[in-house]
Amino acid sequence: MYERVYIFDTTLRDGEQSPGINLNVQEKLEIAAQLERLGVDAIEAGFPVASKGDFEAVKAIAQNIRKPIIVGLARAVEKDIERAWEALKYAARPRIHTFIATSDIHMEYKLKMTPNQVLKRVHETVSFAKSLCPDVEFSAEDGSRTRPEFLFEVIKTAIKAGATAINIPDTVGYGTPQEFGGLIRSIRENVEGIDNIILSVHCHNDLGMAVPNSLSAIQNGANQIECTINGLGERAGNAALEEIVMALKTRKDFYGCETGIVTEEIYRTSRLVSHLTGIHIQPNKAITGANAFAHESGIHQHGMLSNRETYEIMTPESVGLRQSQMVLGKHSGRHAFEEKLEEMGYIHLDADKINQAFEKFKDLADKKKHIMDSDIEALVNEKVIQVPAVYDLEYFHISSGNSTIATSTVQMKTEDEIIQEAACGDGPIDATFKAIDRAAGIEVELKDYYLRAVTSGKDALGEVTVKIGRNGDVFVGRGISTDVIEASARAYVNAINKMLYESEME
Ligand code: KIV
Ligand code: ZN
């Protein structure tokens, strides 16, 4: 029997705290549904007291996602805990996660509390959370820099008050694998009652050691890992779920434990999160980077042809990565398209989304001879979640060159009018964005612009991601087309629509 390690995903809470990420309720629900398919044991859905949007997202996830435990974060104060419970009470398996800092530096300078006051607060708030919800997790923030003797006291207090899981965060990513593992072992050895509850860790990646620290914690007795898809999270991020899971799977001989993750769903989850957050994955990232399974050198290719295991320690298929295959062409019908979607694992799309994706596919087939898996993936992702559009881009026209001032004319449609505007700019994309601003009558800051080719070849689909900012909030838009200016304009209009939709919801 292998030891079972629980996977607690905090992409929607700690991950969402990454700079430049702002997911709306629909997007969070879509990610939560995918995390459920991925087989995570717990989803930390948000921090309900933080904002109305966070509250609504946790509530919607609690109402709709039934298999995993749904967790809501709360500081160790009654009003946070109450608010978390209000959102979580709909869940099939709710868990309140409450935390307070326990290191000397945090207690003295941030909390301005003595250790005894902190102990008292732990007792009061964990007891209060327990009176609302049978499953309560307690985190000792900055646990890795807490004096071990005091940490033991804190944990004992939380267990006595009814905690069902204790989490030790390496909040500032300071730990090293040996030292952090040693801390976890000392908790197992010194805290009575710890064996009857879950012992969890939550590692940040400031020194690039979040994954090794988490794995070392497992070797030393942790049985829950808090982690995020693509390693998103505060500052340098959290431990990457896909790296931990694949390390445990590939080196089961060494670690001797397993998770409940359906590893074939890893790639799709990673792409969905990247798509919705607008945070791109570096090509050489372990497990999900574009080059993770690419073998460039002749020696490697030769070895692979003789026996894949010469250079491949896990298969691309095991993380859900399929070779991009030529799939369909302009004569393919709707039935073939649907079959292809099913084969690619898109079994949850409703008829509306399939129709929209099919229409896009037909448009694309007129422009591009061979349509690949990755084209279909981009089309579907574009159609997965669309907020109701205030503006539709009808057409654009540009005039540009290396010795003329770029100008762009756009026509946009709303429910009751058609608006035309023109503008000059530093190049055709800038001019188009300015013309769109004018047509929409708004001013936003362009915070990020990213263009990638979905496949290779001159007729490749271009996928543009833009981030626009207004009043401190960031909105991500995405557009695809074989024409990069059109993809850019669509991405920009999409970001504006999202911004308008969010302000309406507030
Ligand atoms: O990093 C941290 O300490 C946290 C806690 C709230 C668990 O995110
Ligand atoms: Zn954290």
* Residue span of the structural domain in which 174 resides: 6-277
Whether 285 is covered by a domain: the verdict is: no
Judge whether residue 326 has pLDDT over 60: no
Query: Could you tell me which residue, 2 or 195, shows the higher pLDDT?
Result: 195
Query: Could you tell me which residue, 196 or 309, shows the higher pLDDT?
Result: 196
Q: How far is the CA of 141 from the centre of ligand 1 (A)?
A: 6
Query: Could you tell me which residue, 80 or 340, shows the higher pLDDT?
Result: 80
Nearest to 48 by CA among 60, 58, 33: 58
Q: How far is the CA of 24 from the centre of ligand 2 (A)?
A: 21
Judge whether residue 325 has pLDDT over 70: no
Model confidence band, residue 323 (pLDDT cutoffs 50, 70, 90): low
Residues 255 and 244 in one domain: yes
Query: Of ligand 1's atoms, which has the minimum distance to the CA of residue 204?
Result: 1
Whether 310 is covered by a domain: the verdict is: yes
The sign of the CA dihedral 32, 455, 346, 449 is: positive
Judge whether residue 458 has pLDDT over 90: no
Residues 273 and 214 in one domain: yes
Residues 369 and 358 in one domain: yes
Whether 344 is covered by a domain: the verdict is: yes
Helix, strand, coil tally for the chain in percent (to 5):
45, 20, 30
Whether 286 is covered by a domain: the verdict is: no
Domain containing residue 113: CATH number: 3.20.20.70
Distance CA 367, CA 458 (A): 11
CB 224 within 8 A of CB 214: no
pLDDT tens sequence across 27-38: 999 999 999 999
pLDDT for position 337: 87
Residue 402's CB is within 10 A of a number of other CB atoms, namely 4
Token pair belonging to 257: 């434990």
Judge whether residue 418 has pLDDT over 80: yes
Query: Could you tell me which residue, 340 or 424, shows the higher pLDDT?
Result: 424
Residues 432 and 464 in one domain: yes
Nearest alpha carbon, ligand 1 atom 8: 14
Token pair belonging to 92: 């099939």
Distance CA 231, CA 236 (A): 8
Whether 1 is covered by a domain: the verdict is: no
pLDDT for position 48: 98
Please give the DSSP secondary-structure letter assigned to residue 240. B
Whether 288 is covered by a domain: the verdict is: no
Task: Kindly give, in sequence order, each residue whose CB lies less than 8 Å from that of residue 356, ignoring residues fewer than 6 positions away.
Answer: 383
For a ligand 1 pocket test, name from 202, 205, 224, 234 the mutation site with the most ligand atoms within 8 angstroms of its C-beta.
202
Distance CA 105, CA 155 (A): 18
Q: How far is the CA of 234 from the centre of ligand 2 (A)?
A: 6
Amino acid present at 86? E
Helix (H, G, I), strand (E, B) or coil at 215: helix
Judge whether residue 427 has pLDDT over 60: yes
Residues 317 and 328 in one domain: no
Judge whether residue 362 has pLDDT over 70: yes
Amino acid present at 302? H
Nearest to 326 by CA among 373, 369, 366: 373
Model confidence band, residue 310 (pLDDT cutoffs 50, 70, 90): confident
Question: What does residue 193 show for φ and ψ, rounded to 5 degrees?
Answer: 90, -10
Nearest to 139 by CA among 106, 179, 173, 166: 166
Average pLDDT over the chain, rounded to an integer: 93
pLDDT tens sequence across 158-217: 999 999 999 999 999 999 999 999 999 999 999 999 999 999 999 999 999 999 999 999
Judge whether residue 426 has pLDDT over 70: yes
pLDDT for position 190: 98
Whether 283 is covered by a domain: the verdict is: no
Query: Of ligand 1's atoms, which has the minimum distance to the CA of residue 167?
Result: 7
Model confidence band, residue 248 (pLDDT cutoffs 50, 70, 90): very high
Model confidence band, residue 296 (pLDDT cutoffs 50, 70, 90): low
Distance CA 250, CA 266 (A): 14
Residues 121 and 66 in one domain: yes
Query: In the chain, pLDDT over 90 holds for what percent of residues?
Result: 75
Residues 373 and 446 in one domain: no
Q: How far is the CA of 169 from the centre of ligand 1 (A)?
A: 6
95 lines ligand 1 (CB under 6 A): no
Model confidence band, residue 1 (pLDDT cutoffs 50, 70, 90): low
Amino acid present at 125? T
214 lines ligand 1 (CB under 6 A): no
Query: Could you tell me which residue, 340 or 237, shows the higher pLDDT?
Result: 237
Residues 121 and 262 in one domain: yes
What is the CA 467 to chain-centroid distance, rounded? 16
pLDDT for position 433: 97
pLDDT tens sequence across 169-183: 999 999 999 999 999
Q: Which residue has the tokens 């609504």?
A: 56
Judge whether residue 387 has pLDDT over 90: no
pLDDT for position 383: 67
Distance CA 96, CA 230 (A): 25
pLDDT for position 229: 98
pLDDT for position 335: 86
**Burial of 287 (C-beta count, 10 Å sphere; 0-12/13-18/19+):** buried
202 lines ligand 1 (CB under 6 A): yes
Whether 303 is covered by a domain: the verdict is: yes
Token pair belonging to 233: 């999270």
pLDDT-wise least confident of 82-96, 176-190, 337-351, 425-439: 337-351
DSSP strand pairing (257-258 vs 3-4) = parallel
* 74 beta partners: 98
Judge whether residue 385 has pLDDT over 80: no
Query: Of ligand 1's atoms, which has the minimum distance to the CA of residue 17?
Result: 8
Token pair belonging to 75: 């500081």
Give me the DSSP letters along 309-374: GGT-SS-GGGGTPPPP-EEE-TT--HHHHHHHHHHTT--S--HHHHHHHHHHHHHHHHH-S-EEHH
Query: Could you tell me which residue, 302 or 146, shows the higher pLDDT?
Result: 146
Question: What does residue 257 show for φ and ψ, rounded to 5 degrees?
Answer: -145, 170
For a ligand 1 pocket test, name from 9, 11, 14, 232 the mutation site with the most ligand atoms within 8 angstroms of its C-beta.
14
Residue 135's CB is within 10 A of a number of other CB atoms, namely 21
Distance CA 21, CA 15 (A): 8
Model confidence band, residue 505 (pLDDT cutoffs 50, 70, 90): low
Distance CA 263, CA 319 (A): 5
Tally of structural domains, the chain: 4
99 lines ligand 1 (CB under 6 A): yes
Model confidence band, residue 375 (pLDDT cutoffs 50, 70, 90): confident
Residues 267 and 336 in one domain: no
Q: Rounded mean pLDDT of 345-355?
A: 80
Nearest alpha carbon, ligand 1 atom 2: 171
Please indicate, yes or no, whether the overall pTM of this predicted structure exceeds 0.95: no
Residue 93's CB is within 10 A of a number of other CB atoms, namely 17
Residues 228 and 123 in one domain: yes
Strand order in the sheet with 473-481: 445-453, 462-470, 473-481
Model confidence band, residue 479 (pLDDT cutoffs 50, 70, 90): very high
Distance CA 277, CA 271 (A): 10
Judge whether residue 261 has pLDDT over 70: yes
pLDDT-wise least confident of 235-239, 276-280, 305-309: 305-309
For a ligand 1 pocket test, name from 47, 111, 174, 204 the mutation site with the most ligand atoms within 8 angstroms of its C-beta.
204
139 lines ligand 1 (CB under 6 A): yes
Residues 332 and 309 in one domain: no
pLDDT for position 29: 95
Residues 262 and 297 in one domain: no
The domain boundary, picked from 212, 243, 277, lies at 277
Q: Rounded mean pLDDT of 136-153?
A: 98
138 lines ligand 1 (CB under 6 A): no
The domain boundary, picked from 277, 305, 340, lies at 277
Judge whether residue 457 has pLDDT over 90: no
The domain boundary, picked from 354, 384, 414, lies at 384
Q: How far is the CA of 67 from the centre of ligand 2 (A)?
A: 24
CB 10 within 8 A of CB 35: no
Query: Could you tell me which residue, 309 or 47, shows the higher pLDDT?
Result: 47
pLDDT for position 327: 67
pLDDT-wise least confident of 87-96, 378-387, 437-446: 378-387
Distance CA 32, CA 37 (A): 9
